[in-house]
Structure 1
Amino acid sequence: MKQFLKIIILIAIINCQSSWCQETASVVEDFKPSEVNQPGKDFPQVNSQGRVRASVVAPNANRVRLDIGGVKYDMKKNDAGVWIGESAPQDEGFHYYQLEIDGASVPDPGSLYFYGAGRWGSGIEIPASDKDFYAVKDVPHGLVSENIYFSKITNAWRRCFVYTPAEYNIDAKKRFPVLYLQHGSFEDETGWSSQGKANFILDNLIADKKAVPMIIVMDNGYAYKNQGNTTESKPVSVFEEVMMNEIIPMIDSKFRTLSDREHRAIAGLSMGANQTMRIAMNHLDKFAYYGGFSGTSNYPSSDEIDPATFLDGKFNDGKVVNKQLKVLWLGLGTKEPKPFPGSVGAFRAMLDKQGIKHIFYESQATAHEWLTWRRSLYQYAGLLFK
C-alpha cells in the first residue's frame, strides 16, 4: 500500500512538473516594454502572444498579483525583493489593469495613468493588427485644447477637450462641422483623446481624404444639479441640459463652427451611447447624425421594444426618422459581454420593424473595450457631413 502511494505521488509530481514545463515553454520570450510606459521604465512588457509581464519592487509583501481582464495572476518574488509575473494572452488593444499587493489594489508605477473604472490607474496596449489607422504618422496634426467653463446648471467648474483639425489654423475664415463625442461609464472627458486616440484617428482620416475636416468636442458625461452643493443627498443628472444650454452655445461662440443641424453630429460609447441617443432624438432640430458605440437607450434590456412608448415615441414614425437623421450608426464588438449584444440586437430589431435605415458595424474579435470604440469612430467619422 505504501509503495502504491509512493507511485501515485511520484506520478502526480511528474504530471505537475510536465504541466509547469509546458506552461513555461508556451511563453514566448520576446517581451518588449509597453508603448504606454512611463519614460525610462522597462516594465510592464508585452510579448508577441499578447501576454503582459509586470514587475514591482515590494520586498516586504507576502503576495502580489497582476489584475487584468477580470483575472488575477500570481507573481513571484526573487532574491532582490522584485516581484515578476505575466498574464495569459490578452485581446488586441487597450486595457486597464492594476497590481494587487497584499490585498491592496494599486496602479503599476511603471505605466502611464489613465482615467477609467472610476479612478486614475494603469493601462496597457496590446499591439493590434490594424493599429495603422490610429498610429502617429507624418501627416498634418490637429490640436486638442482644454477648455474650462463654469456651469450655472451644475454650479461647478467643468471642462471639455476640443479637437480642431490642422486646417483650422491655416484658413482663418473657414468654418467647420462639429462632432460631440462622449465617453463611457466611470470614464471622463480625457478618455477619447487619451485611450481613444480620437485626434490621431481624425488626423489620418482627413489626410487620406476619407473624412471631412471637423471639430470634435469631448465633455464629461457626469453632470448633476447643484453639483457644487456638497449637501445634496441624491444628485440629479442634467447632462442633456448642460449639453444643449451651455456646451453647444459655448463651442459655437468660441470656435468657427457651422452651427446648423446638418453640420452637427453626436456619438458616444456605452453610457455615452445612451446619453447621446436621448439628446439626439430629443433635439433633432440640432443634430442630423447619431453614432452609438456598444450601446443604445434600451440598455440593459433585451426585451422587445415598443416604438410607441420607447423614448416617448421618437422612433414610432420611421419615415420621419429617416428624413431627419442622415446617418444612424451602430457599432458592436463580436466578443461583447451581456447585456450589450441583446440590447443592441433588440434596438436593431425595432429599427427594422419601423423601416428605419441604419448602419451596423461589427468590430472583429473585440469586446467592450477601446479598440472596439476606436474602430467605431474610424468607421463613423468617415460618413459624416457628406
Structure 2
Amino acid sequence: MNLKCLAISLATTLTCGICTAQTSQTAVSDDFKPSTVNQPGQEYPQVNSQGYARFRIKAPQADSIRVSLGLGGKGGTRLKKEEDGFFTGTTEGPMDEGFHYYHLTIDGGVFNDPGALNFYGSTRWESGIEIPAHDQDFYAVKEVPHGNVQQILFPSKSTNTARRAFVYTPPGYGNDKSKRYPVLYLQHGWGEDETAWSNQGHANLIMDNLIAEGKIKPFIIVMTYGMTNEVKFGGMKNFKIEPFQTVLTEELVPFIDANFHTLADKAHRAMAGLSMGGMETHTITLNKPEVFDSYALLSGGLYSPAEFAGKAKPKLIFISCGSKENPTGVNKAATALKDAGFNAVSFVSENTAHEFLTWRRSLHELAPLLFKN
C-alpha cells in the first residue's frame, strides 16, 4: 500500500474529515436544531438543514475561541465574544453530511466542547457533531430486533496483556445453541480505537436494519484495537504489522472461535478496515490467506492482481472510498481484479471524503455481499 497516500488520507481525518464549501451566497436558514450527539439537555452545538453548524460557549474569562470545524480563516471557525460572556458563531459554509470530530482552541489551549459528546479519534477524546444525512435511515434506531455489542477481554501472550475487543452479536444470538455464525473482523482507523465502529460508525444499527429487512444473513462482528506499538502521525512508515497480526490471527481469532458460536473456518471469516485499518487488512490478508476468505478496504488502499500470485483467490474483494478521495483509483483497481478473474466490487460514496459517512455507507454495501453461499 502507498503510505504517502495513506498519510494524506489520515491528515484529512485529523482535520475533522470535512470538506467545507466556499462562503455561500445563499441566506443561512434559521432552522437550527441541537446536534443528535450533544450531551443530554444541551442546546449547542446546533446544525441546520443546509449543513451549517452553530456554536455557543460560555467562557467569560477567555479572549478568543476557535472551533476546528469550517473555514473561518486558519484553523476553523472563530467565535465572537458577546457581552454576556458567551462566544457564538456559525461555520462560514455547509459541511459534508455525517459525523465529524472537532475541538475548541481557547486562548491557545485545546479543549472539548462541553455541549457535545466525546468520541475517541485523533488519538484523544474529541467532541463530535452529526450533520444529518439525506440517507441516514439505514443507520437510524428503528423498532426492529436489536443485536448486542459487548466488551470482552482476551489474553494476549505476545503482548503480555489482556486486550480488549467489542463483539456485535445479531438479534436472537444464543437462542438456538446449535446455530453458528460467520465472523467479520472490522478494524478502525489511525488515532481511533475499538469503540469507533459502534460509536461513530453505528455498525450495530446498520446490521440490525439490514437483518430486519432480510438483506443479509446474520453474522458476528469483532472490533479490536489495531495498534501494538504507538505510532505518531507522520510515522506510519515505522509501523510494524507483525505484532498486531499475531494478536489478531493467533490470539483473538482462536479466542472468538472458542467462546462464541462461530463457523470456525476460512470460508466464514472476513476482514475489513477503514483507513489504517484498511492498510492492516491489506497486509494481513495477503500474509495469512488461510485465515480469511473475504477482504474489504474502506478508504484504505487497493489490491492488485499481482499481489495474489501463487495464492488462492479470495471469495470477495471489496474496495471503497468517498467521491472526494480516490474514486478513479478504486474503480480501476476493481476492474483490473475482475479482468483477472476475481470477484471484486467497488463502491464510491457520493459527496463524502475521508469520514465516517463514507465508511457507514461502505459497510452497508459490503454486508450483503459477505458470506453468500
Same fold (TM over 0.5): yes
Q: Which residue of 1 aligns with 2:108?
A: 103
Unaligned residue ranges in structure 2 (runs of 5+): 1-22, 232-237
Deviation at 1:370, TM superposition (A): 0.3
| Distance of 1:306 and 1:213 partners within structure 2 | 30
Of 311, 315, 320 in structure 1, the residue corresponding to residue 308 of structure 2 is 315
1:58 aligns with 2:59: yes
Q: How does 1:196-207 map to 2 (within 5 A)?
A: 196-207=201-212
Q: Is the 8 A contact 2:305 2:337 kept in 1?
A: no
1:277 to 1:235, Cα distance in 2 relative to 1, 3 A: closer
1:74 aligns with 2:78: yes
Deviation at 1:377, TM superposition (A): 0.3
Q: Which residue of 1 aligns with 2:88?
A: 84
Equivalent residue pairs, number: 339
Q: Which residue of 1 aligns with 2:178?
A: 173
Deviates more, 1:280-289 or 1:109-118: 280-289
Q: Which residue of 2 aligns with 1:43?
A: 44
Of 160, 166, 175 in structure 2, the residue corresponding to residue 155 of structure 1 is 160
For residues 79-127 of structure 1, what are the alpha-carbon distances to aligned partners after superposition, in whole Å with 9 as ceiling and x for unaligned?
Answer: 1100011112101000011111112121101000000111101010000
For residues 241-298 of structure 1, what are the alpha-carbon distances to aligned partners after superposition, in whole Å with 9 as ceiling and x for unaligned?
Answer: 1111100001001101000111111111111111112212222222111111012267
Deviation at 1:356, TM superposition (A): 3.3
| Distance of 1:23 and 1:135 partners within structure 2 | 30
Alignment partner of 2:369: what SS?
coil
Alignment partner of 2:173: what SS?
helix
Of 315, 321, 324 in structure 2, the residue corresponding to residue 332 of structure 1 is 321
Alignment partner of 2:198: what SS?
coil
1:222 aligns with 2:208: no
Task: Flag the structure with larger Rg.
Answer: 1
Unaligned residue ranges in structure 1 (runs of 5+): 1-21, 228-233, 299-304, 308-313
Q: Is the 8 A contact 1:154 1:224 kept in 2?
A: no
Deviation at 1:45, TM superposition (A): 0.5
Alignment partner of 1:26: what SS?
coil
1:80 to 1:147, Cα distance in 2 relative to 1, 3 A: same
Alignment partner of 1:192: what SS?
helix
| Distance of 1:205 and 1:342 partners within structure 2 | 28
Q: Which residue of 1 aligns with 2:357?
A: 371
Of 235, 241, 245 in structure 1, the residue corresponding to residue 246 of structure 2 is 241
| Distance of 1:348 and 1:172 partners within structure 2 | 39
1:360 aligns with 2:346: yes
1:154 to 1:350, Cα distance in 2 relative to 1, 3 A: farther
Alignment partner of 1:193: what SS?
helix
| Distance of 1:332 and 1:25 partners within structure 2 | 30
Deviation at 1:149, TM superposition (A): 2.4
Alignment partner of 1:279: what SS?
helix
- Tell me which amino acid in the other structure corresponds to 2:321: L
- Tell me which amino acid in the other structure corresponds to 1:75: L
Q: What RMSD over aligned residues (CA atoms) do the two structures have, in Å? A: 2.4
Q: Which residue of 2 aligns with 1:118?
A: 123
- Tell me which amino acid in the other structure corresponds to 1:217: V
- Tell me which amino acid in the other structure corresponds to 1:315: F
| Distance of 1:357 and 1:264 partners within structure 2 | 16
| Distance of 1:207 and 1:28 partners within structure 2 | 36
Of 291, 294, 303 in structure 2, the residue corresponding to residue 289 of structure 1 is 294
Q: Is the 8 A contact 2:138 2:206 kept in 1?
A: yes
Query: TM-score, with normalisation over the residues of structure 1?
Result: 0.82
- Tell me which amino acid in the other structure corresponds to 2:253: I
1:306 to 1:373, Cα distance in 2 relative to 1, 3 A: closer
Q: Is the 8 A contact 1:108 1:122 kept in 2?
A: yes
- Tell me which amino acid in the other structure corresponds to 1:46: V
Query: TM-score, with normalisation over the residues of structure 2?
Result: 0.85
Q: Is the 8 A contact 1:45 1:54 kept in 2?
A: yes
Q: Which residue of 1 aligns with 2:13?
A: none
1:211 aligns with 2:216: yes
- Identity, % of aligned positions: 49
Q: Which residue of 2 aligns with 1:276?
A: 281
Alignment partner of 2:68: what SS?
strand
Q: Is the 8 A contact 2:185 2:272 kept in 1?
A: yes
Q: Is the 8 A contact 1:42 1:110 kept in 2?
A: yes
Alignment partner of 1:188: what SS?
coil
Alignment partner of 2:180: what SS?
coil
- Tell me which amino acid in the other structure corresponds to 1:56: I
Q: Is the 8 A contact 1:111 1:122 kept in 2?
A: yes
Alignment partner of 2:197: what SS?
coil
| Distance of 1:224 and 1:74 partners within structure 2 | 36
| Distance of 1:285 and 1:235 partners within structure 2 | 23
Of 261, 267, 278 in structure 1, the residue corresponding to residue 266 of structure 2 is 261
